[in-house]
Amino acid sequence: MRAQVVVVLIVHAIADAIAAPAVPTVTLDSGTFIGTTDLVTDKFLGIPFAQPPVNDLRYRLPQPILAYSGTHDATSFGPACPQQEVQLPIVQGLAANVADFLVNSIYGQIFPDSEDCLTLNVVKPATATPTSKLPVLWIFGGGFELGDPSLYDGGLIVSRSIELGNPVIYVSINYRVTGFGFLASQEVKDAGVGNLGLQDQRQALRWVQKYITQFGGDPSKVTIWGESAGAISVALQMLSNGGNPEGLFRAAFMESVPYATLKSAINQTPGIFAYQSLNLAWLPRTDGIFLTDNPQRLVQQGKVANIPYITGDCDDEGTLFSLSTLNVTTDTQLLNYVKTNFFPGVTEDDLAQFAELYPADITQGSPFDTGILNAITPQFKRIAAFQGDGVFQAPRRWLLQNTLPTNPNVWAFLSKRLKALPVVGSVHASDILNVYGGGEMEDYLIRFAATLNPNSQSLLSFQWPKYDLKNRQLLTFLDGLIPLIITTDTYRQEAMQFLTNVTLANPI
């Protein structure tokens, strides 16, 4: 009887061993990294791409890993970088589930955090080998004040890419944020250590060039993608080094793109939901090294990477950031807010023109196309329209207008989905659900990373036309029975041109 029990146990052990998937490993230098698998994708998480920026390396340019050795557990994300505290304003009419969505997905604050946070994550098809040479989709996650790659599941994108027959490698990173990554002062500029968060990103791109082949990726086929602050990062990477990408990436995809103890001290500064809102404390700034001039002027000078790119916005980009200005209720208060927080050098004539272009009529404000709804204060929809245009929509048009004469491989989009969300409408970053939620944008993104063209060769798929200065065609995402249409990028043209002119004179 005892022998029979032993035999049964041995049989079960053998069966379990056969059923259990092999643990994926990858060798980098003399080091072995152990990941996880679901048989479709392999994940390698929390891989250091630079030396820990602590002690003598705090407030220093990222230093590369000299060489890996030993065995490393790559089965869990590394800690988030220290972040800004987030407090969403309490707004009557903002449904609890909407607030939960904003704070716990788009603007989630991740714990635990640590200064030793410069890690990246690689997700690859389980069948990929060092000879596969697959395209690489590089993700700038998070923001300049908060966020972390663990918020997003790259396995969904890689799995979908396999289904489409365009398999890709997915890479996401942590980079220093808040005062650790974007401290600004004359002393910082003189020391050449401004924009450390952007320098972290650049170092991680160099890591990809050195090591991605081991995961099955092709270092010559890297597409950088980002949403919100990640999209700003993409744009600034295109502007760095005089517009020379140094072979680090071949294409770019930008969603919701604008151009623009220590931790205890950091948390006393304005945050993304503070009264100053988009006039944040911790933003990339001209430092003479990574950014040699104001981004708008660099674009105007043609110092931008000449690569295929996609850019776009949500229809109501400004609503989220206007929730902190509900005490602004009169015309006088509004104009003072605009001058104080955005354009301190504007004239009274400029302010008068601004008031005409962004009138108090709530039916013309944001959320757009919602009539008299969502006017939670007399000035809320007006402020939301201005902030969405001034910081997101107008800079996107500026980038398109200044790059198209020499770069015809450009596509643009507008997301009008989730318009029924109370107060915020098609809110900033809501288009991310169209990527990680299995929407059409996910497929366009994958095909673009794989082929430098977002379109499928299938006659049944909706074709996304290139953007040009004659037709200005936008792929527009809608709710309802007709989810995709082509619209023209000419809405609020006079107002946005005015904001562009003022911004060039008074950079945001």
| 228 in active site | yes
Taking the C-alpha atoms of residue 158 and residue 399, their distance in angstroms, rounded to an integer, is 30
| 85 in active site | no
Neighbours of 405 (CB within 10 A): 9
Taking the C-alpha atoms of residue 73 and residue 75, their distance in angstroms, rounded to an integer, is 6
β-bridge mates for residue 137, sequence order: 170, 223
Taking the C-alpha atoms of residue 176 and residue 272, their distance in angstroms, rounded to an integer, is 17
- The 3-state DSSP class for residue 297 equals helix
Is the separation of the CB atoms in 214 and 33 below 8 Å? no
* DSSP one-letter code for 417: T
Is the separation of the CB atoms in 183 and 59 below 8 Å? yes
From residue 470, alpha-carbon distances to 401, 410, 445 in Å are: 11, 13, 25
Q: Which two tokens stand for residue 267?
A: 């948390």
Catalytic option among 317, 415, 426, 430: 317
Catalytic option among 228, 233, 366, 426: 228
Catalytic option among 172, 277, 428, 430: 428
| 428 in active site | yes
- The 3-state DSSP class for residue 66 equals coil
Q: What's the burial of 505, exposed, middle or buried (CB within 10 Å: 0-12/13-18/19+)?
A: exposed
- C-alpha dihedral, 369 to 370 to 376 to 379, nearest 10°: 30
Q: Which two tokens stand for residue 224?
A: 């950088």
Is the separation of the CB atoms in 227 and 179 below 8 Å? no
| Sequence-ordered list of residues with C-beta below 8 angstroms from that of 336, at least 6 positions apart, any chain | none
From residue 206, alpha-carbon distances to 10, 216, 226 in Å are: 48, 16, 18
Q: What's the burial of 507, exposed, middle or buried (CB within 10 Å: 0-12/13-18/19+)?
A: middle
Phi-psi region of 146 (alpha: psi -120 to 50; beta: other; left: phi over 0): beta
Taking the C-alpha atoms of residue 152 and residue 171, their distance in angstroms, rounded to an integer, is 11
Active-site residues, by number, are: 228, 317, 428
